Chains A and B, each alone.
Chain A
Amino acid sequence: MLLGGLSATALAPGFAFGQATNEIRIGAPLPLTGPLAPEGRKQKRGYDLWAAQVTKDGGVDVGGRKLPVRIIYSDYQSATPRGVQACEFLVNQEKAHFLFSPFGSGAAKAGSAIAERYKIPMIAPTASSVEVYDQGFKYLFGTFTPNSTLTEPLAKLVTEKAPDVKKVAIFSRNDLLPLSLANEMRKSSAARNLSVVYDEKFAIGTLDFAAALTQMRAAAPDWVFVGGYINDLVQVRSQMRDLGMKPKVLTMIAGPAYEEYIQALKGAAENVSSAAWWHPSVRYEGEDLFRSTANYVEVFKAAYNGDTPDYAEASASSAGAILQLALKKAGTLEGPAVRDALASLNVRTFWGPVHFGATGQIDSLTPPVFQIQEGKAVVLVPDEIKRGEFRFGIA
């Protein structure tokens, strides 16, 4: 039994190459329905844009041949165990040469075991937690820097601009990314002698935050830091408004970077600060098919009715662009060779400079800090792309 299982495992990628060398098959498990559907659809838009651009350019250069790209989607309905099944299905049934990871740190971590088992390079466009990359895996590569690269610049900015901010409340969804963000926020607070006066988690799917926010309000924090996804964050912000909570600083990750967050909250989104791994106002020139950030934004707008891309969409497009550069370098679709090409990549792209560290996580980006001002995300850090000054207080 065991031997049979091992044989099937070892042969599966071989069959894939034998059967489908006339196209590049990429498996993309996504939460296209369920609570994470907004995030899942963003990733899909990013992938689709890259694939459309590849088609326009005549294909991906692999060893002198131009091969078309086929992205095979599988909806795992926002349930991580189904995401892992989807990875397995895409490799074994759909014969995917490469995988883009499921959404977020938790699902990417779970799905990466499949990529590792079958020696299929997997690019994770939405996984930032170091816990995803510390498994010793060789086939997983991520386009997000660690979460500390978000909390540290935020903490530095807030404490520099408002030395009277002393008390911090940390509230996070009981999920890998938000918990990891909360952990980094604790470290950033401790490093600056900020007192954490409230530190709690909320269950996935929670709708009513009134009791937790009441307790948080009683602790009178100067700075409230909330980690979660867009639906959680919209609901928490709405109920903070209902309870009349007005901390000096409100930071939420990872929702305010999305236009949907601003649209859902209108005025209540004002002065909410956040950080993300990319922003459309960054300016990079690249060797990838999009050539520059400015051009990427234009191509995206043209494809999606004038919508401006956010970091999740851009990261998904960058996953394709990075894979394309690695394929050109490797000159083959063989998993181990492409994996080596990804590991040694050191290029500039519209997403920013791309170099993966020893764990497979990108180590060459500087994520911007921004704040919602007059209904727009205004970059505050780094200085090169700064567009405004930090504002205190919320509506």
Chain B
Amino acid sequence: MSASLLAQVLANGLLLGGLYAAVAAGFSLVWGVLNVVNMLHGSAIVLGSYAAWFASARFGVNPFLSAIVVGPAIGLLGWAVQRFVIQRVITAPVLITLVLTFALDLILNNGMINAFSADYRKVPPVTGAILTFGPIGLPLDRVLAAVAGVVVTLAVHAYLNNSRLGRAIVAVRMDRETSMLMGVKVEHIYAVTFGLGLALAGIAGCLMAVVFPISPLNSSGYLGIAFVACVLGGLGSIVGAIVGGIVLGVVESFGAIFVGPEYSVTVAAVLLIAMLLLRPQGLLGRAGYE
């Protein structure tokens, strides 16, 4: 196997990983802060993709630009869902919130199937250009989407570490009771965090629409990616989501080459199981936080 082939496969994996990071970041944040396994996340990504497709088909706006509006809009929806629905059972065992978000996912997903049908839709190429570095060829659209995914995720990480609200979110994630004693309004933080998580999902949806076809049926696949990337990177860690996403992208990419394309997802699942057995806190997570 030639070095140029391996380099191309690595590049493919890194680009895929950048997108996966964006898919996983919001999911990880919600799980880490609210202790809610948000089954709605995959469908929220697809909703973002549809919004990007609509903006492109109706107004000719490319998904990178529409993400600026779509992200906050879906984030607002997330804030409302948490504030008025999930908040009612937030102190219940994790299974209850999981079932609730699963039910919300069914409603949203079937609503999208009804509204848009299961047909695949595709946003036209934004640039359509291919970057070449010697033997390696990279579609510029995919490069831009992956870079945007990582940049947005890092921006959220910076916000969490440097803003007052962000520090409050991190504080609730670390110790809910102590945060309350310090005057943090936990209910408010929960709603904002869930909204932020879904805003990230909406942006990820816009970026995925640049590369992949859009269908409500993609939602379970996106949820699976978010789940695996979170476990790999460490729950609640935004940087962990980036690392987990990139590791997953690279492993899937090499898995397709060395084991066969039909088994690339199986390789990722094996990696997930190995990680849960050997390092359940993830690559960047803290022990006891899993």
Chain B binding surface SS class: helix
Interface residues of B in 1-34 (CB under 8 A from A): 2, 4-5, 8-9, 12-13, 15-16
Listed in ascending order, the chain B residues whose CB lies under 8 Å from chain A are 2, 4-5, 8-9, 12-13, 15-16, 113, 117-120, 122, 130, 132, 137, 139, 141-142, 211-213, 215, 217-218, 221, 252-257, 260-265
Q: CB distance A210 to B12 under 8 Å?
A: yes
Evaluate whether A214 and B8 lie within 8 angstroms (CB atoms) in the complex, with A37-B119, A244-B130, A264-B122 already known: yes
Bin the interface of chain A by size.
20 to 34
Asked if A308 is an interface residue, CB under 8 A from chain B, the answer is no
In the complex, the answer to whether B257 meets A211 with C-beta atoms within 8 Å is: yes
Which residue in chain A gives the minimum CB-CB distance to B256? Answer: A211
Verify B262–A174 contact, CB threshold 8 A.
yes
Taking a contact as CB atoms under 8 Å apart, the answer to whether B118 and A34 are in contact is: yes
The residues of A with any CB-CB pair to B shorter than 8 Å are: 33-35, 37-38, 78, 174, 200-203, 205-212, 214-215, 218, 231, 234-235, 238, 242-244, 264
Q: Is the CB of B118 within 8 A of A200?
A: no
Of chain B, the residue at the smallest CB distance from A243 is: B137
CA distance A202 to B215 in the complex (A): 19
Q: How far is the CA of A203 from the CA of B265 in the complex (A)?
A: 9
In the complex, A82 Cα to B253 Cα: how many Å? 32
Expressed in whole angstroms, the minimum distance between the Cβ of B173 and any Cβ of chain A is: 32
Whether A212 and B261, one on each chain, are in contact in the complex, defined by CB atoms closer than 8 angstroms, is: yes
A242 to B264, CA, bound (A): 20
CB neighbours (8 Å) of B122 from chain A are: 234, 238, 264
Contact call A211/B120, Cβ cutoff below 8 A:
no
- Cβ distance A143 to chain B, nearest Cβ, rounded Å: 25
Q: How many A-B residue pairs have CB under 8 A?
A: 91
Distance A84 CA – B77 CA, assembled complex (angstroms): 39
Q: B262 to A201, Cβ gap below 8 A?
A: yes
Contact yes or no, B261 A203, CB < 8 A? yes
- Complex CA–CA separation, A78 to B254 (angstroms): 30
Contact call B256/A212, Cβ cutoff below 8 A: yes
Among B120, B130, B261, B265, point to the contact of A200 (Cβ < 8 A). Answer: B261
Give A264 to B262 CA distance when docked, in angstroms.
25
Given A201-B260, A202-B262, A38:B253 Cβ within 8 A: no
30 A-B residue contacts at CB 8 Å? A37-B117, A37-B118, A37-B119, A38-B119, A78-B118, A200-B260, A201-B260, A201-B261, A202-B262, A203-B262, A205-B217, A205-B221, A207-B221, A208-B212, A208-B252, A210-B15, A210-B16, A210-B253, A211-B13, A211-B261, A212-B261, A214-B257, A215-B9, A218-B4, A231-B213, A234-B213, A242-B130, A242-B142, A243-B130, A244-B137
> Which residues of B are found within 8 Å of A37, using beta-carbon distances?
117-119
- Cα A211 to Cα B268 in complex, Å, equals 14
Besides A203-B264, A214-B9, 8 other A-B contacts (C-beta < 8 A): A33-B118, A34-B118, A37-B118, A174-B262, A202-B262, A210-B253, A211-B9, A242-B142
Tell me whether B118 and A202 are in contact (CB under 8 A).
Answer: no
10 residue pairs, one from A and one from B, having the closest CB atoms: A211-B256, A242-B139, A212-B261, A37-B118, A210-B12, A211-B253, A202-B261, A201-B262, A203-B262, A218-B5
B117 in contact with A33 (CB, 8 Å): yes
A34 cross-chain contacts in B, Cβ below 8 A: 118, 217
B12 touches A218 (CB 8 A): no
The reply to whether B218 and A207 contact each other, CB–CB distance below 8 Å, is yes
How many angstroms from the CA of A212 to the CA of B254 in the assembled complex? 9
